[in-house]
């Protein structure tokens, strides 16, 4: 039986959006949330925070979301870690581009902050075959 989603690492280079998402996921969703402002910060935070899921912005300076996911997959702590992309690019071709990177899901911006926890819970519920989601 899958354990519940409890800890989320949100990675985005926009500080205001990080604050909004953190408040929405904690206050509305009852989750514990840490934020990282870059892919490099995310790679440092994962082994320290041990998130159940990473919500990862696609467009970031220096290391973008797909490259960050590739690097996460090459770490012991992140090999099976579910990652959900969040992106402002919502065209079909852009979303299809993300598929081969192996995200657990994709959420497009803008999104409704009050519904974000429900969307992540729905993605989490679909991960029953993921070893990280099983105890």
Structural domains of the chain, count: 1
Render the burial of 70-96: b for 16+ CB within 10 Å, e for the rest.
ebbeeeeebeebbbbbbbeeeeeeeee
50, two tokens = 């041990």
Cα gap 47→78, rounded to integer Å: 8
Residue 73 belongs to some domain of the structure:
yes
1, two tokens = 């039986």
Residue 107 belongs to some domain of the structure:
yes
Residue 53 belongs to some domain of the structure:
yes
Residue 33 belongs to some domain of the structure:
yes
pLDDT 10s digits, 81-96: 999 999 887 767 777 7
Residue 41 belongs to some domain of the structure:
yes
pLDDT 10s digits, 22-71: 999 999 999 999 999 999 999 999 999 999 999 999 999 999 999 999 99
What are the residue ranges of helices labelled H in the chain?
15-23, 39-49, 65-73, 92-98, 113-125
List the domain range (segments joined by +) for residue 104: 7-133
CATH number at residue 85: 3.40.50.2300
């Amino acid at each position: 039986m899958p354990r519940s989603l409890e800890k989320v690492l949100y990675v985005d280079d926009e500080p205001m959006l990080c604050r909004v998402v953190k408040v929405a996921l904690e206050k509305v969703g009852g989750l514990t949330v840490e934020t990282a402002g870059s892919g490099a910060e995310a790679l440092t935070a994962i082994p320290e925070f041990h998130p159940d899921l990473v919500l990862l912005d696609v467009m970031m300076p220096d290391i973008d979301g797909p490259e960050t996911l590739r690097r996460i997959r090459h770490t012991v702590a992140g090999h099976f870690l579910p990652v959900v992309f969040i992106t402002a690019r919502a065209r079909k071709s852009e979303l299809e581009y993300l598929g081969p990177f192996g995200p657990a899901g994709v959420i497009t911006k803008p999104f409704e902050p009050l519904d974000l926890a429900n969307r992540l819970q729905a993605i989490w519920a679909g991960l029953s075959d993921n070893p990280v989601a099983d105890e």
